[in-house]
Every structure is written in C-alpha cells, then in structure tokens.
Amino acid sequence: MRYRTLGRTGIQVSPYALGTLMFATSIGNADPADSARVLHRALDAGLNFVDTADAYGDSEDVVGQALKGRRDDVVLATKFGRPAGQDPNHQGASRRWIVTAVENSLRRLGTDHIDLYQLHRPDPGTDIEETLSALTDLLRSGKVRAIGASGTPASGIVEAQWTAERRGLTAFHTEQPGYSLLNRGIEREVLPTTQRFGMGTLVWGPLGQGLLTGRRPADLRRAGLVRHLGDEHRHEVAGKFAALAAEAGLPLTHLAMAFTTAHPGVTSALLGARTLAHLEDLLAGVDVTLSDDILDRIDEIVPPGTDVGVLDQAYQPPAMTDPALRRRRAA
C-alpha cells in the first residue's frame, strides 16, 4: 500500500478509504459483527482511513465497537451538520451544535479524539467564521486533529480559506466531494481550488452509487443501494464504461476506482463495501494503474469537468432548491 499525505496535515492515509454508511444496521448490514469483519479485513490489507458520520444511523456505534483494540491503527474521520433529530438546533454548523455534536460522536466512537472532523454539508445560515472558530477551539483542545468540509462549492472553499487567514483561525484541511467516471464536475473548479490551497481531498461515490459495479439496476434497487435509477442516460454511459473495462481486461469496479485515485488532486477514494465479498473485489484493484490511452478513452465517453446526471446525495445550494431566490418580484 502506497500512502499519501492528507493535504498539509502530515497525516499519511491509504488511497482507498473505508466508508461506513453501509455499517448502519437500519440501511446497510444488519449484523455489526459482520461489519467489524469487513473493517478488520480492510485494516489488515493496509487501509488505514475510515470515514463515518453522525447522520449514518448507528454507524458510529458500530465503528466504535469494531475499533476496540485497533484505534491507534486508524485515521478516523467523522462528520457533523446534517439533522440529528427533530430539534432545529441539532444540525448545522453553529458553535452551539458543534460542541454538542463532537461529544456525541466521541462517545459513540469510544475514543478521546477524532482525526478528521468534517462539516457534512454547507450551512448557509451560519457565518463561516463562527464555524471555523468553534472547530479551531476543538483543535486546540486536542479533541480533533484536523478539520474538513464536504460538498462545498469552490467559492465556499475560497471564502473559508480567506476567513481563516483574516481572523487567525485554522482553515479546513480537507474537502469531501462526490467524484466518479459519471460525475466529473469537480474537475472544473473544486479540485483545482483544493490543490491551490494544499487541501486533502477525500472523494465519495466513486462507483456511481452502484451503477459502476456492473450490477443490473434492478438488483441495485432491490439491494437498497440507490433510490433513483430512472436516468437512462446514466445507465447507457455506465454500459460504455463496462465495455471499456472489458476491453482493458479489468473489472468495471477496478476501472472506476483507479480513475478516481489517478487525479493528482485526489488523496483518497471512499469505498462503501457492505460485505467481505464486495471489499475483496475492491482490494484486488488497489494497485491498478490506468494507461494514458485508457484515460483518453474515458475522456471521450465523459469529457473532463462534466456530469452525467446527479448523485442522490449531492449538495444543492439554496439558489437551486428555493425558486424564490431565482425570481425577481414586482415592486
């Protein structure tokens, strides 16, 4: 396993990170012991980067139990910000919620520190200075070792960096956007911006939320891996990549994962293995390197910086979700 430096933190992480959304017993693997076996196998294979979130059901609890006795072997990341109940203050990026959310995550994970604490989605209702101030205090207390964000537009990344510099706060060390053969939009601005600021980038959805596994859409729907499979164009393009992978003598999953980790701006790609079989398939491709010819062929299918459809969990800014923000009203 060839490790990479996570931005400018000095922390060494594997090019594949283990995402643990599927460890939640309500939406993924119902057997925590089985999830623990998946995590231990990943660690034994050299993966040292584990990512979870307080919004992933009981995933933090499952991860915390599975890491007993092996906590020091792991760069442990979790996230805050998405709703954690009905209380309107149990979400977002306010100082009030951050100081509560981090204690909750520490308790569930059974640890005294979090290696990477990330804002799960941008919070337009909270000033970024308040968020960075609270996170800087957590860094100084030792409860958190690095901070990051997820789903942030390039303009938001720049605003956070400038705010940190002006106010003497710690800037985000990392960003976690969606990225795959089907969704390359972050190549246009987000990845160049994170590279400009020396940030680590942990990408999610490298298998196109199941469409790049080679499994049939009906099977993915029955397995509960995706909610929306109505975009026929996405299916068509995924089929083209399956044909390219076969021509290259690779499983589609290996092509997809190797593509995401080939970009110089990407530190690690999250693999969301639910079972040992899924994990073993992905581990077998960790050393795959794509030739320039294959990368050129990929560019022909989906040009750089473009998206084919939208990922289910992609962040949509208020201007896209609230029509009132796009319509000038008569006086």
**Structural contact between residues 15 and 2, judged by C-beta atoms closer than 8 angstroms:** yes
Radius of gyration for the chain, computed over Cα atoms and rounded to the nearest angstrom:
19
For the purposes of burial, counting CB atoms within 10 Å of the CB of 186, is it exposed (0-12), middle (13-18) or buried (19 or more)? buried
**Structural contact between residues 226 and 209, judged by C-beta atoms closer than 8 angstroms:** yes
Give the per-residue SS3 of 178-225: ECCCCECHHHCCHHHHHHHCCCEEEEECCCHHHCCCCCCHHHHHHCCC
56 noted as active-site residue: yes
Which of 56, 117, 179, 315 is an active site residue? 56
Q: Report the alpha-carbon distance of residue 198 to residue 146 in Å, rounded.
A: 14
Q: How far is CA 136 from CA 16, 169, 181, 320, in A?
A: 27, 6, 35, 31
Q: Are strands 116-119 and 16-19 parallel, antiparallel or unpaired?
A: unpaired
Neighbours of 182 (CB within 10 A): 28
Which residues, in sequence order, are bridge partners of residue 80?
119
| Structure tokens given for 33 | 């012991």
Could you list the active site residues?
Answer: 56
